[in-house]
Structure 1
């Protein structure tokens, strides 16, 4: 089983690698049959192919993830971390706005979105992330105008 410190480091490393803009570097942290849901309630997706698409989409939006201090679990297999993500409103913002989570900004080309979430990971015996869940809801999202 992984140690608590390892799981906590993996949660923060996920954010660091997302910020580099290299989806393949992010994927190296994950097991081939990874399960993930972002946000929780949107439907579980499985496998590196699905995760690759999700990460590429985030990187296309110029996402920047800032993790807080992670917390672990007694078994060492789980870690949770609050993450503040900012990204360009385009191209995904209009979809989010259609769901009613945010109102469209006055200038979509320059606006950014901020999402505060809690990311929870589960790490396997091989040291790779087997499961990732991102918890956020409408009150955790806001549009940043003129960013």
Structure 2
């Protein structure tokens, strides 16, 4: 089990690795058996390869994650943090447009998206993240500057 400070550091390090574009460093925070769901309701994925593909999509989109105040549970396993993330509309935005989450922007190559979400993690005894869930819905996503 981790103490509260270590849990908070772990969840914030996730954001730091995304911001640095460090996919391999991000994977080192996670158990090889990680289960993650981003967003919750889209279906869970498991393992480093699935997480690598997911994180590479974010990094390729120039994602920037601005975390709020992290909180840790008293169980030594869970932490949560609100995050505001921005990323380029391309290459992932058209999927959201096809699903009716975002309108098609006039200039997709220059547009960014904004996501407001809550990230929750569960760490294992080894201090690695075993589970990550990102809670966000259609009302939490917008084209940057159109809110």
**TM-score, with normalisation over the residues of structure 1?**
0.97
Cα-to-partner distance string for 1:84-134 (whole Å, 9 max, x where unaligned):
110000011111011011111111110000000000000011000000000
Q: How does 1:55-94 map to 2 (within 5 A)?
A: 55-94=55-94
Aligned residues: 146
Whole-Å Cα distance in 2 between the matches of residues 144 and 109 of structure 1? 13
Q: CA deviation at 1:144?
A: 1.8
Note if 1:33 corresponds to 2:51: no
For 1:9, what is the secondary structure of its paired residue?
A: helix
Q: Is the 8 A contact 1:107 1:145 kept in 2?
A: no
Instruction: Return the alpha-carbon distance in structure 2 between the equivalents of residues 33 and 70 of structure 1.
Output: 24
| Contact 1:110–1:145 under 8 Å retained in 2 | no
Q: Which runs of 5 or more residues in structure 1 are unaligned? A: none
Q: Is the aligned partner of 1:121 residue 2:121?
A: yes
In the aligned structure 2, how far is the partner of 1:82 from the partner of 1:76? 19
Unaligned runs of 5+ in 2: none
Query: 1:107 & 1:145 partners in 2: Cα distance?
Result: 13
* Off by >2 Å, runs of 4+ in structure 1: none
Query: Does the 8 Å contact 1:105/1:111 carry over to 2?
Result: yes
